[in-house]
Amino acid sequence: MPKIVIQKDRCKGCLLCISFCPRGLISVDKSLNKRGVRPVKVDTKGECLGCALCALICPDCCIEVFK
């Protein structure tokens, strides 16, 4: 199963990754990060494809995908 790592404190909350994940595994977290925005989180129980679309689309390179 691929592993997704999100650097939450770098996330600016643009939500691009949410719209690009084909499995709908990314959602908005409840708590604010250091930038004062709600970062995204990944559903670790979902079936991630390892497609890395989320990582590719993030303008701030906050997401890494390990296969």
Residues that bind ligand SF4 (CB under 6 A): 2, 4, 6, 11-17, 21-23, 25-26, 39-40, 42, 48-54, 57-58, 60, 62-63, 65
Cα separation, 30 vs 37, in Å, equals 10
Q: In whole angstroms, how close is the CB of 33 to ligand SF4 at the nearest point?
A: 9
CA distance 30 to 46: 19
Smallest distance, ligand SF4 to C-beta of residue 56, A: 9
Least Å distance, CB 7 to ligand SF4, is 8
CA distances from 5 to 28, 34, 40 (A): 15, 17, 11
